[in-house]
């Protein structure tokens, strides 16, 4: 059995089914993100694992033990809140030591552990500060340290970086990933930011309306979105129906039973691709924006709008032709469910 196993979990508030029959396995040492729009049930699932939410049906296993009816305080899981939830009346040191004091560890041991974990998050010099004297990023690192110091079996992080500004968020993403690899701890990370999910995880679980819609490695997820929802949530895809593709190129024959297709914008080429199974069709350039390393071009082909990403190094902007032919290899036309 997996380290964490969630088996046919159902949770509802009255008539509102928040989690609909969720089953999920997570291995020890894995970093998994739960990704989805707000209200998809990802945070609720995390809180169920922590014992903070009451559910109706299903089973939960952690390290071989059924934990459904175990109170939070006996589950030995760490939890990092979006709002940090540091205790304002306690110093950084007291905050981190809190869990250990509850366990009635000897003072010297507490001291050792607290200082060690402070070193880990690089905030040794802030031990005597109060939370409101620290920046958001520092507070979240303390919160992380407070959860790690009790050596939990799994660390649950509920959108921990959402309240921070972009630069610090990037930095902390790196830090968390490094820390996780270093300690080999199992982490479940909730986020609504697909980029963050891609950067951090071993595996991404995409959720929508209380269901898991796809689970895959970041690379798989990006290359092969399974549904219309995943493709549009991950972004950067042109989503077309088979009729629309036939309009572009009458020779196109879709896979049987599939109606929609996702085409990543960087797989559409403005330079000819040779070989078989290539669709080509004329298009008109409406506009473009420079994103940095890529240029995003907006084309119209017949009645269809297409987004095409071109590497900035590959082409000189002045050379972008108003009317051109576009090329797509069949392999890059990914069939998706509605």
C-beta separation of 217 from 200 below 8 A: no
Q: Which of residues 42 and 332 has its CB atom nearest to other proteins in the complex?
A: 42
Rule CB under 8 A: choose which of 14, 16, 38, 54 binds other proteins.
54
Stretch that binds other proteins, among 67-75, 134-142, 240-248, 315-323 (CB under 8 A): 67-75
Asked if 132 is part of the footprint of other proteins (rule: CB under 8 A), the reply reads yes
User: Least distance from C-beta 60 to other proteins, angstroms?
Assistant: 8
Instruction: State which of residues 31, 35, 43, 51 lies at the interface with other proteins (CB under 8 A).
Output: 51
Answer for which of 85, 115, 127, 278 binds other proteins (CB under 8 A) is 85
Strand partners, 278: 329
Answer yes or no whether residue 81 interacts with other proteins by CB under 8 A: yes
Residue 99 engages other proteins in binding (rule: CB under 8 A): yes
The helix/strand/coil state of 265 is helix
Work out which of 42, 141, 146, 332 binds other proteins, going by CB under 8 A.
146
Cα Rg for the chain, rounded, in angstroms?
24
> What strand order describes the sheet that includes 57-62?
16-26, 4-13, 57-62, 65-66
Cα–Cα distance, 191 to 130 (Å, whole number): 28
Residue closer to other proteins by CB (options 86, 230) is 86
Among 27, 37, 39, 87, binds other proteins (CB under 8 A): 87
- Pairwise CA distance, residues 331 & 280, whole Å: 14
Q: Does 73 bind other proteins (CB under 8 A)?
A: yes
Count residues binding other proteins (CB under 8 A).
35
Q: Which residues contact 285 (CB under 8 A, 6 or more apart)?
A: 297, 298, 299, 320, 321, 322, 323, 324
Query: Binding to other proteins by residue 13, rule CB under 8 A?
Result: no
* Side-by-side strand order, sheet with 278-290: 304-311, 294-301, 278-290, 323-329
Q: For other proteins, which residue of 71, 184, 275, 292 counts as binding (CB under 8 A)?
A: 71
Asked if 103 touches other proteins (CB under 8 A), the answer is yes
52's tokens: 């903070």
**List 30, 40, 98, 226, residue binding other proteins (CB under 8 A):** 98
Nearer Cβ to other proteins (96/123)? 96
Please report whether residue 78 would count as binding other proteins according to CB under 8 A. Answer: yes
Where in 150-169 is the site for other proteins (CB under 8 A)? 150
E strands within the chain? 4-13, 16-26, 31-35, 57-62, 65-66, 77-80, 154-158, 186-191, 203-208, 211-216, 237-241, 260-264, 278-290, 294-301, 304-311, 323-329, 334-336
Asked if residue 100 lies in contact with residue 78, where contact means CB atoms within 8 angstroms, the answer is no
In the complex, the residues that contact other proteins under the rule CB under 8 A are 50-56, 68-69, 71-75, 77-79, 81, 83, 85-90, 98-99, 102-103, 130, 132-133, 146-147, 150
């Amino acid at each position: 059995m997996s380290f964490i196993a969630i088996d046919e979990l159902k949770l509802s508030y009255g008539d509102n089914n928040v989690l609909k029959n969720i089953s999920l396995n997570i291995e020890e040492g894995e970093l998994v993100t739960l990704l989805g729009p707000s209200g998809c049930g990802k945070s609720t699932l995390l809180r169920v694992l922590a014992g903070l939410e009451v559910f109706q049906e299903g089973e939960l296993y952690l390290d071989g033990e059924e934990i459904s009816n175990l109170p939070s305080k006996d589950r030995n899981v760490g939890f990092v809140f979006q709002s940090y939830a540091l205790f304002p009346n306690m110093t950084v040191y007291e905050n981190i030591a809190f869990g250990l004091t509850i366990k009635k560890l000897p003072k010297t041991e507490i001291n050792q552990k607290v200082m060690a974990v402070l070193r880990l998050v690089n905030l040794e010099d802030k031990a005597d500060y109060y939370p409101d004297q620290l920046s958001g990023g520092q507070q979240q690192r303390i919160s992380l340290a407070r959860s790690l110091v009790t050596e939990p079996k799994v660390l649950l992080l509920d959108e921990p970086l959402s309240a921070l500004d972009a630069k610090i968020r990037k930095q902390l993403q790196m830090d968390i990933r490094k820390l996780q690899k270093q300690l080999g701890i199992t982490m479940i990370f909730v986020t609504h930011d697909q980029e963050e999910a891609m950067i951090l995880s071993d595996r991404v679980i995409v959720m929508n309306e209380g269901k898991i819609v796809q689970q895959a490695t970041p690379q798989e997820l990006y290359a092969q979105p399974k549904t219309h929802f995943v493709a549009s949530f991950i972004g950067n895809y042109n989503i077309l129906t088979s009729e629309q593709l036939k309009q572009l190129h009458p020779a196109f024959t879709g896979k049987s039973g599939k109606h929609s297709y996702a085409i990543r914008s960087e797989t559409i080429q403005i330079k000819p691709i040779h070989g078989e199974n290539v669709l080509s069709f004329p298009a008109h350039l409406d506009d473009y924006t420079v994103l940095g390393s890529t240029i995003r071009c907006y084309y119209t082909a017949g009645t269809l709008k297409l987004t095409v990403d071109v590497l900035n190094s590959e082409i000189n902007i002045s050379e972008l032709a108003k009317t051109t032919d576009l090329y797509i290899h069949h392999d890059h036309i990914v069939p998706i469910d509605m």
